[in-house]
Amino acid sequence: MDASSASVTRDDASSTLETSTSEVTAGEVDGELRAATATPGEKKKKKKKTYERVKLPTPEDVYQQDAMDNCAIKTVMSCVLGGALGGVMGVVFGAFEPMEVPAPDAPKVTMRETIRQGAKSAGARSWSYAKGFAAFGALYAGSECVVEKVRAKHDVANSAYAGCFTGGVMARTSGPTGMAVGCATMAALSVAMDKFMDHH
């Protein structure tokens, strides 16, 4: 074998070795990339998908939702619930008020008369609280519903507008300054309550 033939053979062997090495290296890199990029779900056996049946609303549910979206119904319900809450709070708060001590020269009052006067006082206080809470509930719920309908949005701004309107109306007898303070106070309180309760 001459020198030229030996040189060609060595070149062919070197080329074949480089090609094999590159193919092995490419295969190893491809395998490592697939292993590295595989998600945990692909590594594990795929779980069988489960489906739940979709429950469509009944006509009664639709009617109920429509009724709850009605501003007039919301206003009436808030008025009634506010009045009931105010009546209960009036009785509870009245129980903690100190009793009036009669004067030494005052005529003696029987136990029956004392109970009657106490019940009358509690009733008057409860009625006063009920009117205030009923008016507040009706104003707030009604104004919030109207603002939401007009803006076509359900966010915390509705509560701020409703709180401002309610606070201003409730403080109308205090003049412009009182109305402004009531508006700002109730708006801030409404926003804080919505943020705390995560209502919107």
- Check residues 104 and 7 and name the one with the higher pLDDT: 104
Q: Tell me, yes or no, whether 120 and 72 share the same domain.
A: yes
Q: Tens digits of per-residue pLDDT, 54-72?
A: 888 888 888 888 777 889 9
What pLDDT, on the 0 to 100 scale, is given for residue 184?
Answer: 95
Number of structural domains the chain divides into = 2
Task: Give DSSP secondary structure letters for 98-125.
Answer: PPPPPPTTSPP--HHHHHHHHHHHHHHH
- Check residues 119 and 100 and name the one with the higher pLDDT: 119
Domain that holds residue 197: 153-200
DSSP 174: G
Residue 118 lies in a domain: yes
What pLDDT, on the 0 to 100 scale, is given for residue 42?
Answer: 53
What pLDDT, on the 0 to 100 scale, is given for residue 39?
Answer: 54
Q: Tell me, yes or no, whether 84 and 160 share the same domain.
A: no
Q: Tell me, yes or no, whether 196 and 167 share the same domain.
A: yes
Q: Tell me, yes or no, whether 180 and 193 share the same domain.
A: yes
Instruction: For residue 164, name the pLDDT band (cuts at 50, 70, 90).
Output: very high
Q: Tell me, yes or no, whether 116 and 162 share the same domain.
A: no
Q: Tens digits of per-residue pLDDT, 73-103?
A: 999 999 999 999 999 988 888 777 766 666 6
The pair of structure tokens assigned to 121 is 């006082």
Q: Tell me, yes or no, whether 71 and 147 share the same domain.
A: yes
